[in-house]
Structure 1
Amino acid sequence: MFANYLIGLREGLEAALVVSILVAYLVKSERRHLLPRIWSGVALAVVISLAFGAALTFGPRGLTFEAQELIGGTLSIIAVGFVTWMVFWMARAAPGLGAELRGQIDRAADAGRWSLALVAMLAVGREGLETALFLWAATNAATDGTAATWEPLAGAALGILTAVVLGWLIYRGALSINLSTFFTWTGAFLIVVAAGVLAYGVHDLQEARFLPGLHNLLFDVSEQVPPTSWYATLLKGIFNFSPRTTKLEGLAWVLYLVPTLSVFLVSVRRRTAAAPSRPAAPAPVS
């Protein structure tokens, strides 16, 4: 549940910051009459993201077991690719995100009636689609492919709600957080979560008989960590840890986690050392 909460919080805060920048710029440039276009784009992005999540959840049902596992494993690996790209992109682009969005607003305001709605929809929809895909993959991994329990979804919803509140407080100037530190720590944690999702995706592909080695175990600690125990559930829910891990799963986990996390931390350290200090949040709107 905590991992899903953190996913919802991080992705929700990214979307909330985007919306706050868009709204703040229109308000400060005395173009409040254009705000409904922003909100219509945000609403459309939310609807599309929910529909995408529903399609992921209910679409594979009715297929054979092997087909479900093949689809699930493939989507899990795609989700890992998306979240990895998102973590690195946000770390690199966050300092100039405000200027980029303001430029897009100026161009869209002059382009046509629905251009601003399209800018908002694309900006928020990207986060929504990534969130839906990664939450589906993480939840599917945490529940071993069975029907999703309410805990992961509740955790994600609570994280998104927290992000909305934080975004509003940042917009009003009531709260200032170090976004660089926030995205660094959550980015590193999501890379660890993504490694577990990748390992589970490999396991799904082994179940689908697409990859070999399903019974070639790297370790089996089921006696020490019973799958039904509370601590096994906790490890599964946060890190997607499986007491029975195949050699191919373990290899995929190591080959992803070690280089990806190392490159991420080194790039963050270099960027922090080279860049001057920047404001932590958008300026408050009077």
Structure 2
Amino acid sequence: MFFVPFLIMLREGLEAALIVVLIASYLKKTGQQQWMKAVWLGVFSAAIACFGLGLFIEHTTGEFPQQQQELFEGIVAVVAVVMLTYMMFWMQNASKHIGKDIQTALDGAIGQQNGQAKALVFMVFLAVAREGLESVFFLIAAFSQDVGVMAPLGAVTGVVTAVIVGFVLYFGGIRLPLAAFFRWTAVFILFVAAGLAAGAIRAFHEAGLWNEYQDIAYHFGTIISTHSLFGTVLQGLLGYQEAPTDSEVFVYCLYLIPALVAFSVRALATKRVYPSHQ
């Protein structure tokens, strides 16, 4: 399970990197580069806070009895689904005017009579921490389903790649097709979130909270086994299970179908409002 954490962290990292690049570029253009120390302080403070939160949650869950650990993993999966969904639709809505919003917030923070540095640090901290918190809950949910080294390796590789792309964008002035990247990864991540939702209902069953509709909906083990390479890839990418229960299939579809419809409707509305950007 390398690709899913890699892509999630690449996307999350790129969102955070784009915010920092926009702030840094604005400060550079307006001759206010003395505030860059405050920007970096906000970035590193958010990264340390998110990393510390992740370590704390990971450490404490290992001390739970099995049933409580399953309950916790189910709750974390639900939180990850909510945050991933929010991330998708927020980015879809904010992508057309995020630059202007950041410039307005920067003017407000720097324009204060007192505490300009504190205001700027806090603003950057919140912007980066929002992306980091989404990543923390997703990674905890993902790591609970995969105990190998590939998932952490994919996450670290995604973050490193996002940082490199951020530096290239800032110092090289290169324009990448980010709109297409975010659009297609958004659709993919909705499938990932659907798989997490199904995994949450499975965890709640193992915790003893949900025992309805536990009949096997279908068994595709002889066609695509999760022990095969292709089945493992499908399991990691789309939450595929070779023998899911009725409740898992229902929750998967209950989330995915409305989410895809809502995303498509909003995408079409955006095309009508911003035809020149497509």
TM-score (norm 1): 0.91
Identify the residue that residue 163 of structure 2 maps to in structure 1. Answer: 164
Other structure's SS at 1:218 match = coil
Identify the residue that residue 44 of structure 1 maps to in structure 2. Answer: 45
Q: How does 1:130-149 map to 2 (within 5 A)?
A: 130-141=134-145, 143=146, 148-149=147-148
Work out the CA distance in 2 between the residues paired with 1:28 and 1:92: 26
Identify the residue that residue 56 of structure 1 maps to in structure 2. Answer: 57
Work out the CA distance in 1 between the residues paired with 2:213 and 2:96: 45
For these two proteins, the number of residue pairs brought into alignment is 274
Identify the residue that residue 128 of structure 1 maps to in structure 2. Answer: 132
**Kept after mapping to 1: 8 A contact 2:187/2:260:** yes
Work out the CA distance in 2 between the residues paired with 1:254 and 1:212: 19
Identify the residue that residue 5 of structure 1 maps to in structure 2. Answer: 6
Gaps spanning 5+ residues in structure 2: where?
A: none
Identify the residue that residue 283 of structure 1 maps to in structure 2. Answer: none
Work out the CA distance in 2 between the residues paired with 1:215 and 1:125: 38
1:110 to partner: Cα distance: 3.2
1:203 to partner: Cα distance: 0.3
**Kept after mapping to 1: 8 A contact 2:38/2:121:** yes
Work out the CA distance in 2 between the residues paired with 1:35 and 1:200: 42
Identify the residue that residue 152 of structure 1 maps to in structure 2. Answer: 151
Q: How does 1:212-251 map to 2 (within 5 A)?
A: 212-213=211-212, 215-251=214-250
1:61 to partner: Cα distance: 1.0
- Aligned counterpart for 1:119 among listed residues 106, 120, 123: 123
Q: Which moved more, 1:13-22 or 1:165-174?
A: 165-174
Work out the CA distance in 1 between the residues paired with 2:189 and 2:61: 26
Work out the CA distance in 1 between the residues paired with 2:172 and 2:99: 16
Work out the CA distance in 2 between the residues paired with 1:271 and 1:195: 24
**Kept after mapping to 1: 8 A contact 2:214/2:246:** no
Letter of the 1:130 counterpart: E
Gaps spanning 5+ residues in structure 1: where?
A: 281-286
Let me know the Cα RMSD of the aligned residues.
Answer: 1.6
1:215 to partner: Cα distance: 4.2
Alignment deviations for residues 23-61 of structure 1 (CA, whole Å, 9 cap, x no partner): 111111111111100000000010011112212322211
1:173 to partner: Cα distance: 4.0
1:3 to partner: Cα distance: 1.2
Work out the CA distance in 1 between the residues paired with 2:218 and 2:143: 23
1:172 to partner: Cα distance: 2.7
Work out the CA distance in 2 between the residues paired with 1:90 and 1:266: 15
